[in-house]
Amino acid sequence: MESSGRRAREASPEGNPVLQTFRDLSRYVRRYPRAYGLGIALMVAFAFLSTFTPIVVGRAIDAFLSDRMTMTTVWGYIGAILAIGLTAASTMVIVRRSLLNASWEIQFDIRHDLFTHFTSLDPSYYDDHRVGDLMARLTADLNAVRMLVGVAVMMGTNTSLVLLFTLYRMFQLDAGLSLLTLGIVPFITFTFFFLLRVVHRRYERVQEQFSNVSAMAQENFSGIRVVKGFGIEDRELGSFERLNDEFIRRNLALTKVEGPLFPLMELMFGVTISVLLLVGGRLVLGLGGDLTIGQFSSFVFLFEGIQWPLIALGWIANILQRGTTSWHRLRAILDVPSRITDGPDTRADVRTLHGDIEFRDVSLSLGGRRVLDRVSFRLRAGEAIGITGRTGAGKTLVVKLITRLIDPDEGAVLIDGIDVRRIPVAVLRRRIGLVPQEPFLFGDTIAENIAYGIPESDDTEARERRVREVARLAQLEGDVDGFPLGFATPLGERGVTLSGGQRQRTAIARAIIRDPSVLIFDDALSAVDTQTEASILEGLRRVQQGRTTIVVAHRVSAFQHCDRVLLFDDGRLVESGTPEALLAKGGYYADIVRRQQLEEDLEATP
């Protein structure tokens, strides 16, 4: 499988990735103009006010030295400093609340868009991507993007404004000292750009490995019964330790680059302060200038005031690079198109389906191999057919084509005379009740799993009656009534508290309750015994009336109430007819019947 890092690089646009990231995220930021507008306006006020305190302190020092200071003047200076500090602190509190709250809202919006996009992607996408990798992107990467649009924007804007106003005040005090101070900026900029390019590459590798660790953990949690069943806990633990060791190694490599950022800044500030004392001291002593002690003190305080903003540049740049890398990993998901969507030819007037299904010379290739070859048949509305054949013959592909989980390469699948590609996807899926081969149950109650496909209702009694009715038809009611909590019994993840047969019967009840026009059972009876199968089929006879029903199965006993049976072999429809006619014909279907009858006779022999 292609690495997530390579996919992220393919997704990243040409040009400056940081600028492109902000262009991409601007559509989310624009949803909160009040928060960002208020935040930036107040940051201007904060930056302007924050440069007043050093000036006031400098004037107070000069007043002391000139013997012009009285207690009234002292209290005046103290009051001015407190007022400036209180006002600046209040504005910053509002700034943080406005911008950081907006960043959480943006994180919610992006998560919502990602989840919506996930639901529209083709099933094949999830075959090629590990769940653990996707979960890592929805957690660590999404959090890094939130830091980008929140903390990085706030601190970056504030730092820039503070630097701007501070430099203005510095030049007012002494242009020569200010130019000397600015001499450090090119070196800082060069160092940052060099180190941050390395940070970007190494952080990308860290995120790739984090995805690998998350994917393995998720796979082991989901398959814990297989791991324990084979007794390979030690082997899996060893593999997990190797992945974690590599994750730590990559993080240490990242730390080696990130670590020098702040110490280097401190070193440069120390050198600059030493130079300022040397040059500024000469000016105060009258050697080349007439700078007062108070003015020089104000200059030093102003410089001290920009130390944290300048140091914060490293932190901000780090957040910027992490957020940019993470956004490209998320955008790699958002840029994946869904092939199964409504198009310009979609019939918006189609609101329901009657269930007349037709395959016209349908062919399909997967992985360079033709898996369905010119398949043609028709089901009239209300007709029940069975589909059987060897494993890999193409039975499930027929179901996927009807439900439009995939589209054919050649030919057409029609429902009620309309190509399924022109039927709104929501209408198509809503009018088809599908029971898949491997039913998936949610970690909710049995009742909520059965009622999953129907809208919420205020009439809880009617809803409970309907749930019990379909459970009875699926031969599930008796089992559920034996549970202490009945239909309120909570299921574990994927319904692990139920047996395989109970899970399939729950999935059958879930499909029936939707009152669909087309019912499809994709080998849904394979996990139940023949007696339970017969009871389920008998109960479904009333449900099948007036509905098109498709039963995909290996056991021919599942076709006892079918009008016709279609037999597939190697992607081709090789036999079609009533069960009786096919049995009399003596072909492949008859061989299957005789073989399964022999197996039943052998099992019945004591």
Tens-place pLDDT, residues 464-499 = 888 888 888 888 888 888 888 888 888 877 677 787
Report CA-CA distances (Å) from 428 to 26, 264, 455, 519: 36, 63, 17, 12
Looking at residue 306, what is its pLDDT? 77
Contact 560, 385 (CB under 8 A): no
CATH fold match for the domains 349-431+519-606 and 441-515: yes
Contacts of 216 (CB under 8 A, 6+ apart): 132, 239, 240, 243
The pLDDT of residue 528 is 67
Q: Which CATH entry fits the domain spanning 349-431+519-606: 3.40.109.10, 3.40.50.300, 3.40.190.10, 1.20.120.160?
A: 3.40.50.300
Residue ranges for the chain with pLDDT beneath 50:
1-14
Task: Tokens 């399964």: give the residue.
Answer: 596
Query: What integer pLDDT is reported at residue 374 of this predicted model?
Result: 92
Amino acid (one-letter) located at 582 = L
pTM: 0.71
CB environment 519-528: b (16+ within 10 A), e (fewer): bbbbbbbbbb
At 183 the pLDDT is 75
For tokens 């006779």, name the residue. Answer: 601
Distances in Å between the alpha carbon of 285 and those of 29, 60, 177, 278, 520?
53, 19, 15, 11, 95
| pLDDT score, position 4 | 42
> At 596, which amino acid appears?
Q
Can you name the residues that pair with 20 across neighbouring β-strands? Answer: none
Class of domain 441-515: alpha beta
Q: Pseudo-torsion of CA 228, 233, 237, 239, nearest 10°? A: -90
CB 373, CB 347: distance < 8 Å: no
Identify whether the C-beta of residue 583 lies closer than 8 Å to the C-beta of residue 415: no
Evaluate whether the domain defined by 26-334 bears CATH number 1.20.1560.10.
yes
Are 445 and 487 in contact by the 8 Å Cβ rule? The answer is yes
- 387 CB contacts (<8 Å, ≥6 apart)? 395, 398, 550, 551, 552, 553, 565, 566, 567, 568
N-terminal to C-terminal alpha carbon distance within the chain: 51
pLDDT, residue 142, reads 92
Residue 200 makes CB contacts below 8 A (sequence gap 6+) with 321, 324, 325
Domain ranges across the chain: 26-334, 349-431+519-606, 441-515
- What's the CA gap between 603 and 520, in Å, rounded? 30
Q: Both tokens of residue 598?
A: 């022999």
Contact between residue 53 and residue 285 where contact means Cβ atoms under 8 Å apart: no
Residues 118 and 106: their CA atoms lie apart, in Å, by: 18
The pLDDT score that the predictor gives to residue 320 is 87
Token representation of residue 507? 């999935």
